[in-house]
Amino acid sequence: MSRYLTPTLAALKPYTPGEQPQDQQYIKLNTNESPYPPSPAVAAALTAEEADKLRLYPDPACAGLMAAAAKHFGLAPNQIMPGNGSDENLFFALRAFCDSTRPLAYADVTYGCYGVWCDLMHIPSHILPLEEDFSLDPEKYHGLGETIVIANPNAPTGLALTPGQIEGILKANPDNVVIVDEAYVDFGAESCVPLIHQYDNLLVVQTFSKSRQLAGARLGLAMGNAELIADLNRVKFSLNPYNINRLTLKAGQAALEDTAYFEATRNKIIETRAWTAAELRKRGFVLTDSRTNFLFARTSRMEGGALYRALKAKGVLVRHFDGARVSDYLRITIGTPQQMEALVKALDEILEG
Ligand SMILES: Cc1ncc(COP(=O)(O)O)c(C=O)c1O
């Protein structure tokens, strides 16, 4: 820390992203990326002609992508805004809908960036503990009078609420925005996008990083009532109107339009998740009912941190969090069937060796 850093950021603890080893020698099950490449339509869209156009700024309105997304989700283009990953859209939403008098309410065990952004922007955090089994009691979110963010399904627990339960929260907080972070929704939960037509306080945030294989392109969508989206655009156009680069605009549109590839790859992940969960249960692991592209699992046979390190030594990277309620657990991204077989083999060697 330099002596020039504003003292207001001295206590800020940045988010620690999962390791991204550059030698790629690990079986990488630690950051919930897809093990499959993007749709072939993505590579086809990234032509030499598009590369030539990199000398020009991208379209700040992202009109082509917005028209495709509007058609895909059954919304109007002015009900959608793209972001540089869903992280950026979530950040814009907190900037737009929270301040020192309007705290952000979120679960104690959830995506770590929410709290970091609150600290960065001096937004008070209202942390609501999940139940003992990591489920979220929607009633705790009724009548809060605060902006709310719920990852649905939640990370790292993998558990999902139904749209009906989210609807109860929307109804019980008519004067506050409820942000539903649907980063993992395509792997087995039900989206709240259709509720946008009924609730002007609902903002749904989705990403292309997981079920559309574009984590490296950085693209997400915020969807909601046109006025909420205009508020987000107010923030975006006050920071960086060109936040989505030209290649990502093309890649994102191609990925969105290849619905057959999307279905095939997410179904493979769901099948591999079921296989892996069954194998872990056979070995005595305790798992949550994951609706995501990862499993959240623990075993009484070894402490979480030790198991993470033992797997890493065998070339398998998973994610371990230090927090009090979760330190026994590992978050394991679903890879290809071969990768998951290698994980199970490594676990057997560690736990039986
Ligand atoms: C719950 C949740 N929300 C948002 C994100 C951010 O995703 P993106 O790559 O779109 O910024 C993640 C990333 O892992 C996540 O787990």
306-329 pLDDT, tens digit per residue, is: 999 999 999 999 999 998 899 999
Nearest ligand 1 atom to the CA of 215 is 9
Q: What percent of the chain has pLDDT over 90?
A: 96
Q: Rounded mean pLDDT of 41-69?
A: 97
Does pLDDT of 21 surpass 90?
Answer: no
- CB neighbour list of residue 166: distance below 8 Å, 6 or more residues apart: 138, 150, 152, 178, 180, 192, 195, 202
**Closest CA to ligand 1's atom 7:** 86
pLDDT confidence tier of residue 95, bands split at 50, 70 and 90? very high
Pocket-testing residue among 86, 109, 204, 223, ligand 1, by greatest number of atoms within 8 A of Cβ: 86
In the chain, which segments carry CATH 3.40.640.10? Answer: 40-259
Does pLDDT of 138 surpass 90?
Answer: yes
Sign of CA dihedral 158, 191, 161, 325: positive
Nearest ligand 1 atom to the CA of 220 is 10
Q: Are the beta carbons of 277 and 295 closer than 8 angstroms?
A: yes
Half-sphere exposure of 58 (CA within 13 A, CB side): 21
With a Cβ cut-off of 6 Å, ligand 1 is lined by: 32, 85-87, 111, 151, 155, 181, 183, 207, 209, 215, 220
Pocket-testing residue among 116, 209, 214, 293, ligand 1, by greatest number of atoms within 8 A of Cβ: 209
Nearest ligand 1 atom to the CA of 219 is 10
**Buried b / exposed e along 139-164 (16+ C-beta atoms within 10 A):** eebeebebbbbbbbbbbbbbbbbebe
- CB neighbour list of residue 209: distance below 8 Å, 6 or more residues apart: 32, 33, 85, 86, 183, 215, 218, 219, 220
Q: Are the beta carbons of 106 and 114 closer than 8 angstroms?
A: yes
Instruction: Give the model's pLDDT for residue 323.
Output: 87
CATH topology for the 40-259 domain? Aspartate Aminotransferase; domain 2 (3.40.640)
Question: Distance from the CA of 144 to the center of ligand 1, in angstroms?
Answer: 25
Q: Rounded mean pLDDT of 74-100?
A: 98
Question: Distance from the CA of 221 to the center of ligand 1, in angstroms?
Answer: 11
pLDDT confidence tier of residue 24, bands split at 50, 70 and 90? low
Provide the token pair at 12: 């800020």
Backbone angle region of 285, left / alpha / beta, with phi > 0 → left and psi within -120 to 50 → alpha: beta
Question: Distance from the CA of 90 to the center of ligand 1, in angstroms?
Answer: 9
Does pLDDT of 263 surpass 80?
Answer: yes
**Closest CA to ligand 1's atom 12:** 183
In the chain, which segments carry CATH 3.90.1150.10? Answer: 7-37+263-352
Nearest ligand 1 atom to the CA of 155 is 1
Does pLDDT of 23 surpass 80?
Answer: no
Report the CATH superfamily, name and number, of domain 7-37+263-352. Answer: Aspartate Aminotransferase, domain 1 (3.90.1150.10)
